Structure 1
Amino acid sequence: MSQSKEARPPMVLRRRTNNHLPDEIVLEILARLPVKPVLRFRCVCKSWYSYITNPNFISTHLNHNHHHDDYVIHKPKLFPYHPSSRSNLQVCTLAFDRTFETISEFRIPFNFPSGYPGLVGSCNGILCFTDFITSKPKDVYLWNPSIRKFKRLPNTCLTQVSNVALGFGYDSQNNDYKVVRISLSTAKRPKPDVEVYSLSSDSWKRVGLGISWRPNVISYGFNGILAFPFVSGHLHWMIEMIEEGGGQERRYTSMILSFDVNSEKFKELPLPDDEGSFIVTKCVSSFKGKLALIKFGSGLRPHSIWVMKEYGVLDSWNKLYVVPVDGFIGFSGFTNYGIFLIQIMPRLVSTNCELERKYKSVLIDPETLHENEISIQVNYHLDVATYMESLALLDGANVVSY
């Protein structure tokens, strides 16, 4: 009996050895699993660890899981009328895209000198942050909360820090992530200075603007109401300018500056010809994967939304009218489904025989104008970005785990 028992293990081992799945099948299965189990499977054996940390596998896993879950990540941002404590500013909340129901919270694992982290953008599960207020060259971090890793970027080439805007996008041709930093000069007839960071090379480089600059511009600035969007492989900045005319005349103009992340070339995109008499300002965003232009009326209410159906084509701008919302105080951005989040002026609510003011957050479909109040209560604006779990940054150099 004892000899029989001792003889069984080799037989079982032989069966398992003979029935091993081919490596190609194992990789295909791993590539379709969520992030958390894949991370655990790194401990199975050295070959699996090598598979999972390989850049090609990370890219394949991203392609397989790109549309499995749609999330929104948001955090409070500095707002002068309703300042939040610094501890609140260090927390990001992950929520379902359609309902904004909270899933989990992540504490930002790095700090800035000012204590005010600003969200630059979100791409394939990586969040890009910079210092919101500082007098020194701005620190920039890339962070993947789902794998608990972040990376501080090296110092930038440019020393000019006034009127700086950043963008974050993915170079699909080279499987690379890039941060673009534009610094506007304060000199008369300024022209932007541009530098680009590449994650694959872990370095910054200077890039020429490559387009003719308007000769009569005497001052200009970025409209940063929302994060500068990454759409159709391009980053976009809304620049509002003052141009001098004949004599003492001056006029206010705007332009959309577009940057192709793959080719690293700039171009100016056309604006729809519909200013309207009540337009105060405008900014660019992403609406259902298309470039959107939001025009704000008095009180910074969304006056109209324009969507560019065919990228780069003037005639493809399509207008979606937005009915002004009573008590509107803040617009935070769009989700993947084209729903946008706004904050409503506080209303008086009876609590324990006392009256107190309570803010309301609402999701609105700009096509149907259907409103849906959500449970989060905020008295500040939010930095909002679409989000997905991924393995990006898993194989990177100089990446910090926490």
Structure 2
Amino acid sequence: MEFKEDEILQKRGKSTEIQSICSEASVFSMPNLPEELITEIMLRLPVKSLLQFRSVSKSWLSLISTSHFVKTHLLLSASNKDYIHHGVISKPSNTSRGVKDCSVSSLLYDSVPESFELDNPGKNPNAFPLLVGSVNGLICLAINLFYGFDCFIIWNPSIKKYKKLPYEEHIVPYFTFGFAYDEFEDDYKIVGIFPIYNYASLCRVEVKIYSLKSDSWKRVKNYKGAELLGDSAKFVNGKFHWLDKHWNIISMDLAGEKWEEVDQPCCFKGCGFLKLGVFESDLSVFCNYAWTHVDVWVMKEYGVKESWTKMFTVKSPEDSGGRIFYPIILMSNEGEILLKFGSRFVKYNPKDDSIRYLDVTKLAPCLEVQIYVKSLVCPFY
């Protein structure tokens, strides 16, 4: 059987075509294909198909279960520029108990994209999940109850596996978090920033880090800065990044647990307020100007103040109604920018400065969004 891989990979529907070829070959002629080719085909299949193909034979189960296969599949899926293996998970509102999922390729290419309710492990009549972050296909949720914080959950929605983290008794009602993968220690970590108040006055800020590998929390004692804003951290260049209440960018090195202030251009101080983001692996800042427009800046060379570059200026629609732009989710192959304006998804085209609202079926107005890649990663059992 002749398999023209390059031709298939050039098409947007390549995953479906490869899946069809793989299914047919498994029935008729797969035993005659070289093992290397079988592996190359499987590495480009979606997670849903791979979960089904684990039942075909012991050899396929063994192949799909190896750490090398899981890591290579993750790398190929994450680097696919058509985003066919990516999803956007969203939390509709502060009072919503569920989370929604929408395919990124659907948002980019379908005329009527559709979202789906995810059966998240933190769903509870009295619980309200918060999106902490996403890395390597894992979603971190902070579960709030009516009467206070309950727990964290690290969850891979693609394979329906999750871990409820040990309860941290000193967690307070007001907090901000970050979630990342520590490549040096091969470990997933959560950092939590907890301001401690006494009669409405800030007494101190406690910082704690959870390690999935050790399944435990520890305290970081060297933070002496101002209170941080409530947005989840942005992870760039091995560091978490937050904004403090003075609009300074504060970073914490995950490996050394050291704190620094990131230099920023003077023009940042003149805008209404800032939002941090990640644009094509670089730290980005959204400078919002009184609901009239937003400037998108990117730090091209990390740690170099002079490398801050203004990439776009996006004008707010005339009917903005006080809504603001949130950091870029991604850029498509065609150069269109997918981002959130207020509670809705929009596509911005820098070529003609146009904005198009995306009406997503079954999606209520959303407050929080996280992009994730669908993967086989399962660091907990």
**Are 2:315 and 1:311 aligned?**
no
Aligned twin of 2:182: 171
- Distance in structure 1 (CA, Å) of the matches to 2:351 and 2:278: 15
With over 3 angstroms needed to count, the CA separation of the structure-2 counterparts of 1:112 and 1:256, relative to structure 1, is farther
Code of the residue aligned with 1:140 in structure 2: it is F
1:3-152 residue pairs with structure 2 within 5 A? 21=34, 27-68=39-80, 69-70=82-83, 71-78=86-93, 86=96, 89-96=98-105, 98-99=108-109, 102=113, 105-110=116-121, 111-112=123-124, 114-132=126-144, 135-152=147-164
Q: Does 1:222 align with 2:222?
A: no
Larger of the two Rg values belongs to structure: 1
Residue 166 of structure 1 and its aligned partner are, at CA, apart by: 0.9
Number of equivalenced pairs: 336
Any idea what the Cα deviations from partners look like across 1:143-168, whole Å, max 9, x if unmatched?
22211222211223x50414211111
Q: Which runs of 5+ in 2 are unaligned?
A: 1-28, 332-336
- 2:358 maps to 374
**Which residue number corresponds to residue 276 of structure 2?**
284
User: Letter of the aligned partner of 1:232 in structure 2?
Assistant: N
Map 1:235-250; keep pairs closer than 5 Å.
235-240=240-245
What is the distance in 1 between the residues matched to 2:364 and 2:148? 30
Q: Secondary structure, in 3 states, of the residue corresponding to 1:185?
A: strand
For 1:265 and 1:386, locate their aligned partners in 2 and report how far apart those are by CA, in whole Å. 27
- Per-residue CA deviations over 1:183-229 (Å, capped at 9, x if unaligned) read 123266754322222223333222333x6x35xx5xx34142xx432
Instruction: Classify 1:297/1:140 alpha carbon distance in 2 versus 1 (closer, same or farther; 3 Å).
Output: same
SS at match of 2:315: coil
Q: In 2, are the aligned partners of 1:78 and 1:116 still within 8 Å (CA)?
A: no
Q: CA deviation at 1:43?
A: 2.1
Conserved 8 A contact 1:126-1:143: yes
Is residue 270 from structure 1 mapped to residue 278 from structure 2 by the alignment?
Answer: no
CA distance 1:276–1:260, change in 2 (3 Å): closer
Instruction: Using the TM superposition, give the Cα deviation of residue 390 of structure 1 relative to its aligned residue in structure 2, in angstroms.
Output: 0.6
TM-score between the two structures when normalised by the length of structure 1: 0.71
1:193 to 191, 194, 206: 206
Deviation at 1:126, TM superposition (A): 1.4
Pick closer, same or farther for the CA change 1:108–1:259 going to 2, 3 Å. Answer: farther
Percent identity, aligned pairs only? 29
Counterpart code for 2:43: A
- 4+ residue segments displaced more than 6 Å: none
Q: Is 1:339 equivalent to 2:323 in the alignment? A: no
Does the C-alpha gap of structure 1 residues 32 and 260 become closer, same or farther in structure 2, counting only changes over 3 Å? farther
Structure 1 181/223 Cα, relative in aligned 2: closer, same or farther at 3 Å?
closer
Cα distance in 2 for partners of 1:74, 1:342 equals 16
Q: CA distance change for structure 1 residues 332 and 44 in 2, over 3 Å: closer, same or farther?
A: same
Aligned equivalent of 1:254: 247
For structure 1, the 5+ residue unaligned runs are: 1-15, 241-252, 345-359, 398-402
Amino acid across the alignment from 2:162: F
* Residue identity matched to 1:336: L
Q: Secondary structure at the match of 2:189?
A: strand
2:193 is aligned, of 165, 174, 182, to: 182
Q: How does 1:291-310 map to 2 (within 5 A)?
A: 291-299=283-291, 303-310=294-301
| Root-mean-square deviation (Å) | 3.3
- Displacement of 1:273: 1.2
